[in-house]
Structure 1
Amino acid sequence: MANSDAPAVPSLPWRFSTRTLDPDEASEQGTQTYYPLRMDILRGADQFRMSIDAMQLGPILIGDCRFDADIKMDFAELRDFYHINIPLSGYLSSRNLGNEITATPNRAVLYGPTGDVQLSRWSARSRILCIKIRRAALEAELERLLQRPIRSPIDLAPSMDLTHGYGRVLRDLASMLAGQIGHKDPLTRQEIISAPLWHSMLTHLLASADHRYREELLSPRSPCRPPALKRAIEAMRASPETPFTAAGLAEIAGVSIRTLQVAFHTHVDVSPMAYLRDLRLERVHADLVASEPSRTSVTEVAHRWGFTHMGRFATAYSKKYGVHPFETLRSAR
């Protein structure tokens, strides 16, 4: 989390509920569920009670959180996560990267992986959906939608409207998922249902929050790419494990190597081989997330998608996703 010296946090069950009247226990549970934090009760509170009902849905943790007293919290950098707070009642005032936002049922607040977060007031008896998203998952989702690499992290706007459009759909979807937490046999426990739901959450977040890629993401027009470039991209996406070379891709595209390189740099902003490497990393990441750690290995998955030099592979993976590939496999469900 905030630093490499932090003690390991015990893994949580996929669904859990907690209640406490003890502020110290609440701080400990908040750290275990979300991030290392310091919690204080504001003056005037005659009682304290915290309740959290939470559920892990793929790379997303959804918590239905309530406090019976005005409190404040301080976090270190989220680093490996993006975070959204959606109030269903009450309000939450916070500060991150110089932005002071008051979240209400009409407006959510968002935090990126950089900058400390200060929650100056979580109003008593507020009910807030606290949504923690793995950084690698949101960035991979955007790359999948745009079909090209992106600069990381995504510069999400600090707040988001919840009253109409994609923002309202996101709020309704989050509320529906929170409602599943208490069910005896929730639909979200089924992978065939949970995967489309968490992908939908990520897609609606990217569509509703403002960021540098949003206009491109929502544009009804297909990218204006030369036919030669499309042929090369389609070949790589159809079979990224193939040992393509620049010359081979140019032959598939029907142009010279130099022409293809210029097309990639102009329209995709990377070289053909860098595009192929990122595509392979996406496939490796998806397989590691979905794999059973006891039944597969990082080396096996890397070789499956065309990586032969494990040292260079591990370096590229860590640079793209912020963690070693073994950590992704170890944390897979």
Structure 2
Amino acid sequence: MTFESTNLEQTEHFLINSYAPMRIGSSTDDIRASVDRIGEPGVTIDQNEFAFEMSYDVDALGKICLCSIESGAIADHQVDGWRDAESFGPGQLLSFTPPDRSFRGRIHNARYSFTMVDPSLLARFADADRRIELLDHHPISANAAAQLQRTITHLRSVLAEPEMGGSPLVRASAIDYLVARVLETFPNNAADGDAPTPVAAPPAVRRAKAYIDENAGSPVSVGEIAAASSLTVRALQYAFRRHVGMTPMNYLRQTRLDRARAELTAADPYGPDSVTSVALRWSFLSPSRFAALYREAFGETPSQTLRS
């Protein structure tokens, strides 16, 4: 499907029929809009170009919408439920909006792609039969975003070329690979339940772990860890579960326990260091709680470690 127009009203009518009820506007009469869509039920990939200044106010799409910006900018993009509006430019890939949220903003002479995915396709990759949601609109890392972008480009070529995409099996496999990449790129709830097996951590998780390692002896909040990793708190929680196998605060607690054990192991049992002083040094304010956590982690009490 290909659409081109120099008329704002005609463009709005087409966008309503192609996406969802919306209102668009512009302060210029120089309207140049084009949409080139390819796809099949469940997944579509659009190449959009709006070579003018255009405002938009759009109802919920009912689809997962991935946006990859090639040129121009999308400004003041605000989704219902977001705390702040954001702006995006060339090279950025984001989850544009959850399926059930309306959104609004402005397009500045932008060329970008929209990859629309039926949310039901994500359920095939879930640990349980439930609704799968993306929990943050930012990818977990630049590398993950780049891999997803390559997957979108490949899928578009599969769907566009009869020689490549003529086989239903090839098309279905390519779509499954896209969905798997989406779940690897954005924080999501597909792995809720048992903690997943840890895999190679993305840069944001490594930044969070480095911050914890450097500040384990100081009072640290999950918000401070999230800020150091450039993730939201919710995205940080799910990134840690996926890549570390525990929550950020559990990782902080284990780091403190490991440091305390190292000190107790090296300490002179008749010297100035006591179990209580070591516990306080690593932010365990309750000696009884420290002893219980320590025994659970290492199979012996802190006093036994100190005496040995």
User: What interval of TM-score do these two structures reach, taking the shorter chain for normalisation?
Assistant: 0.5 to 0.7
Evaluate the alpha carbon distance shift between residue 59 and residue 197 of structure 1 in structure 2; reply closer, same or farther with a 3 A threshold.
same
Residue identity in the other structure for 1:157: D
| Residue 191 (1) aligns with residue 168 (2) | yes
In the other structure, the counterpart of 2:3 is: 18
Q: What are the equivalent positions in structure 2 for 1:283-298 lying under 5 Å apart?
A: none
| Residue 132 (1) aligns with residue 116 (2) | yes
Q: What are the equivalent positions in structure 2 for 1:1-333 lying under 5 Å apart?
A: 16-41=1-26, 43=27, 45=28, 47-78=30-61, 80-93=62-75, 94-96=77-79, 97-99=81-83, 100-104=85-89, 105-118=91-104, 120-124=105-109, 126-138=110-122, 140-143=123-126, 146=127, 148-150=128-130, 152=131, 154-160=133-139, 163-164=142-143, 166-179=144-157, 183=161, 185=162, 187-213=164-190, 219-220=196-197
Residue identity in the other structure for 1:54: R
Report if the CA contact (8 A) 1:31-1:37 is conserved.
yes
Evaluate the alpha carbon distance shift between residue 49 and residue 182 of structure 1 in structure 2; reply closer, same or farther with a 3 A threshold.
farther
Evaluate the alpha carbon distance shift between residue 55 and residue 216 of structure 1 in structure 2; reply closer, same or farther with a 3 A threshold.
farther
Residue identity in the other structure for 1:195: A
Report if the CA contact (8 A) 1:112-1:155 is conserved.
yes
CA–CA separation in structure 2 for the residues paired with 1:221 and 1:174 = 26
User: Displacement of 1:130 after TM fit?
Assistant: 0.9
Residue deviations 1:46-105 (CA, integer Å, cap 9, x gap): 511111111123411110100110111111123x32211111222223111224232331
Report if the CA contact (8 A) 1:207-1:218 is conserved.
no
Q: C-alpha root-mean-square deviation of aligned residues, in Å?
A: 2.7
Evaluate the alpha carbon distance shift between residue 159 and residue 217 of structure 1 in structure 2; reply closer, same or farther with a 3 A threshold.
farther
TM-score w.r.t. the length of structure 1 is 0.52
Evaluate the alpha carbon distance shift between residue 170 and residue 215 of structure 1 in structure 2; reply closer, same or farther with a 3 A threshold.
farther
Question: Which has the larger Rg?
Answer: 2
Report if the CA contact (8 A) 1:156-1:211 is conserved.
yes
Runs (5+) with no aligned partner, structure 2: 200-308
Runs (5+) with no aligned partner, structure 1: 1-15, 223-333
Name the SS for the 1:210 alignment partner.
coil
TM-score w.r.t. the length of structure 2 is 0.56
User: Displacement of 1:206 after TM fit?
Assistant: 0.9
